[in-house]
Copies of this chain bind each other. A is one copy, B any other.
Amino acid sequence: MKNYKLTLSYDGTKYNGWQRLASTDNTIQQKVETVLSRLLDQPVEVSASGRTDAGVHARAQVCSFRAEAELGCEELLAALRQYLPKDIGALSLEEASPRFHARLNCRAKTYLYRVWTSEQPNVFERNYVYPLPVILDISAMRKAAGYLQGEHDFSAFTNAKKMKKSPVRRIDEILLDEKEEELQIYYTGNGFLYNMARILTGTLLEIGEGVRSPEEIPGILSAGKRENAGFLAPAGGLILWEVRY
């Protein structure tokens, strides 16, 4: 058995997220596994660095899978590019060390959330940005981001129902990059709970709009109640930017 590292980009607009579901075959994992299983003529299970929600995109999602393959990486990559749907792209494929696992070995991830702040609509990127044509108080948002950085119990910032595992995560950096027509928010951390990047974004946007103050963040974190945090920002604005090992 060989072990492979596959890097994918995808437009998540039409899909029910990364993770395989029993109720539908419309997930990215299923599309990729189906193509790989056919190409390699054996059942292939693909692990990604983490799930992405329905409608969330990936610039560079990293996956791993094991298979017996006669095809070389270049041939397999070319075949993937030919047979994957047009909204799922195979960026690279390489043989990985036998112990490499895309989820278990992941050290840090960066998500980007794009807020389109211009009043002029962006038809070409309409599925990749959240349109919010208002003036945002970026310095208040930066102050709030400062409170969120570091290691915290992020229970207030997830819609996960019951948590078997620890809700403690470390956010290394929240970077706000103001462009002329959009605000880009980069979140880098060692892991993200279900919906976490989108709820962090919703909370930061409410602070940017002046609906809440940055000083509420420490209390929201310590109380750990979802209802204290902000709204769930729409999936389309979120993109998994980078995964590090």
Q: Which of A62-102 contact B (CB under 8 A)?
A: 81, 86-92
Partner of A91, one of B11, B91, B120, B126: B120
Q: Report Cα–Cα, A11/B125, bound state, in Å.
A: 10
Check: A16 CB closer than 8 A to any chain B CB.
no
| Residue A122 CB within 8 A of the other chain | yes
Q: Is A1 on the interface with B (CB-CB < 8 A)? A: no
Please state if B11 and A123 are interface contacts (CB–CB under 8 Å). yes
Minimum C-beta distance from A136 to chain B (A): 20
| Interface contact B123-A87, CB-CB below 8 Å | yes
Chain B residues within 8 Å of A122, by CB: 89
Residues of B within 8 A of A10 (CB): 123
Main secondary structure of the interface of A (DSSP, over half): loop
Give A100-148 interface residues, CB cut-off 8 Å to B. Answer: 119-126, 128
CA distance A121 to B78 in the complex (A): 11
Q: Interface extent on A, as a size class?
A: 20 to 34
What is the bound-complex CA distance between A92 and B121, given in angstroms?
A: 10
Whether B9 lies near A86 (C-beta < 8 A) is no
A5 within 8 A of B: no
Query: Which chain B residues border A198 with CB–CB below 8 Å?
Result: none
Instruction: Verify if A57 is at the interface (C-beta below 8 Å from B).
Output: yes
A57 to B88: give the CA distance in the assembly, Å. 22
For residue A90, which residues in chain B have a CB less than 8 angstroms away from its CB? 121
B91, B120, B124, B126: the one within 8 Å of A57 (CB): B124
A residues adjacent to B (C-beta < 8 A): 9-11, 57, 81, 86-92, 119-126, 128
Taking A81-B121, A88-B123, A91-B120 as known contacts, 11 extra A-B pairs with beta carbons closer than 8 A to each other, sorted by chain A number, are A9-B121, A9-B123, A9-B124, A11-B124, A86-B121, A86-B126, A87-B123, A87-B126, A89-B120, A89-B122, A92-B120
Return the 7 tightest CB-CB contacts between A and B, nearest first.
A89-B121, A89-B123, A11-B123, A91-B120, A9-B123, A86-B126, A87-B123
